[in-house]
Copies of this chain bind each other. A is one copy, B any other.
Amino acid sequence: MAALTGAESLVETFLAEGVNLCFANPGTSEMHFVAALDSHPDMRCVLCLFEGGASGAADGYFRMSGKVAATMFHLAPGFGNAFANLHNARKAGSGMVNVMGEHARHHLAYDSPLKGDTAGISGTISHWTRTVTDASSVARDGAEAVAAARGGNGRLATLILPADTAWGEGAAAETGTVSAKECPSEEDILAAVRALKTPNTAMLIGGEAAYGEGLRRAGGIAEKAGARLIAPLFVSRLERGVGTPLVEQLPYAGDLAGDMLQGLETIVCVGAKPPVNFFAYPGKPSLPTDPGCKVVELCTPDMNADYTLDALADALESTQPTLLRDLAIPDAPPDGPLSAESACTVISRWIPEGAIVVNEAITSGRTFSAQSVGARRHDLLNGAIGGAIGGGLPVALGASIACPDRPVLALIGDGSAMYTLQVLWTMARERLNVTAVIFANRTYNILHQELAAMGAGAPGRNAQRMFDLNDPSLDWVKLAEGHGVRGTRVETVRSLEKALDETAKTSGPSLIEVVL
């Protein structure tokens, strides 16, 4: 048998580990890795035309499947292009294995055009970074990278693969050992149970506690203890709609979040981080919680939520929740020109059972959460969970690949959608059942709101030129069609309803431009 190259040993290690999907933007330095992928057709390679699409897709794939995908990036600049959605993925707690190409080590003696600080940039965002030092260790390093990506509840692992270690002689495929997740102590569990039973207490949930069996157990625990159940706005995945436990969701504005949390004396975090306001403002607090509120980090996002919920349920003798969300479809708005709110009403009414909804309509989608709380059952993924816009379309891509039989609805502001619009092409190529609704208000509306909140008065020419996406207006139908995706423009309530119904009748991706 011919010897493996290092790159082949990496692909075989990935496949042995069950990592069989790679979101890729290859370049010349990754050519041996490409050749190795090419000789292993059981590895699915999904091309993105920009690396931010690949990193965001791996994020969305992990959120819906719990499985680690590989990515492929071309040296430091390729990793840089992926950075913003790696940031979002890190905040979402998603795991992935990034393979970053690097020059052959002897070539690094010279200042060639692509030479850059590969380990440095990875270190600013990855939980785990390793530069391979020998072809024979690629398999071992790859297995450890996968194990690192599966650590906690999902981490960013980056393996830097110098070209000579990819083309040199590799060793046999390996498998790694994932370290066990940390669990809270029995004392911490009992203390949390006592806290949950006191009045004015809430459980703040994230990770596995926010969907599926975890969410149901969390609902049972909260119900038995008489505690409120709250989820962050910037949530990786939250199961919602009819039949789900009663979860409140924090609003964006710190003042409103403060109102929601007012009077709470204790918050027990399970799979979620302590609540914090998105930005600081002059003279306003950083935290939405009352000054005296005690925040108990029982189970951080990195710890074992499954164990924690079991232990809480055992201690409380709680069962499945009985207080569940009733079906509450909002009334149809009268026909007429669309507003953001009426568009969200139409969408909330339309959501099909089992849909995955990605929300990155920063201002236009703000009413969506309340309007859709009693909609048909769906998972809601925040598209810009780390505040880096351009996450929504890639997350929708990855979620659809994870769940090809579930309809995916991406609600994206036009400003956000422009960041990673190349993803539309990959949706078309992979024939994904994604409906992208673009809220075309032709402005970074959040910035208008923020400037107004500063009391700065009406924006002048410079602010308008930086906030408004007009002159010229973007034509989203043409942008969609340019990427090979069906596009429709709607301006009225009835036409949005009709366009949504149309997407259900056809396969492959569609884009609906909602003109506001």
Interface positions of A (Cβ within 8 A of B)? 24, 26-29, 31-32, 34-35, 37-41, 43, 45-47, 49-50, 52, 75-78, 80-81, 83-84, 86-88, 91, 103-104, 106-107, 109-114, 116-117, 120-121, 123-125, 163-164, 167, 234, 273-274, 276-280, 282, 286-287, 385-388, 390, 415, 418-419, 421-422, 425, 428-429, 444, 446-447, 450-451, 454, 456, 459-463, 465-467, 469, 471-479, 481-484
Contacts and interface: CB of A to CB of B under 8 A. Distances in A.
B124 A425 contact: no
A463 B37 contact: yes
A463 B386 contact: no
B475 A481 contact: yes
Given A107-B279, A111-B273, A34 B447 contact: yes
A28 B27 CA distance: 35
11 contacts: A37-B462, A38-B462, A77-B83, A80-B81, A104-B279, A107-B279, A109-B286, A117-B124, A428-B472, A478-B481, A479-B482
A476 B482 contact: yes
A61 to B, nearest CB: 17
B113 A83 contact: no
Contact of A103 (B76, B120, B280): B280
Contacts of A463: 34-35, 37-38
B81 A77 contact: no
Nearest to A52: B81
A318 to B, nearest CB: 29
Contacts of A428: 472
Given A280-B164, A463-B38, A479-B482, A418 B50 contact: yes
Contacts of A279: 28-29, 103-104, 107, 112, 114, 163
Contacts of A461: 38, 41
Nearest to A477: B482
Contacts of A77: 83-84, 87-88, 386-388
A447 B45 contact: no
Contacts of A88: 77
Given A81-B52, A277-B112, A482-B482, A76 B26 contact: no
Given A80-B83, A114-B386, A164-B282, 12 more contacts: A40-B462, A45-B466, A50-B418, A50-B419, A104-B280, A107-B279, A111-B276, A120-B120, A474-B482, A475-B482, A478-B479, A478-B481
A479 B418 CA distance: 12
Contacts of A482: 474-479, 482
A277 to B, nearest CB: 7
Chain B CB within 10 A, most for which of A34, A109, A274, A418 = A34
A472 B107 contact: no
B117 A446 contact: no
B45 A278 contact: no
Contacts of A387: 75, 77, 112-114
Residue in A32, A75, A388, A476 with the greatest tally of chain B CB atoms within 10 Å: A388
B124 A286 contact: no
A52 B350 CA distance: 37
**CB-CB nearest 9 A-B residue pairs:** A80-B83, A472-B484, A77-B388, A478-B482, A479-B482, A107-B280, A114-B387, A104-B280, A77-B84
B484 A124 contact: no
A446 B483 CA distance: 22
Nearest to A49: B418
Nearest to A455: B35
A26 B447 contact: yes
Nearest to A464: B38
A21 B138 CA distance: 47
A428 B103 CA distance: 38
A37 B387 CA distance: 23
Contacts of A474: 425, 482-484
Contacts of A111: 273-274, 276
A150 B325 CA distance: 62
Contact of A47 (B78, B422, B466): B466
Contacts of A462: 34, 37-38, 40-41, 43, 45
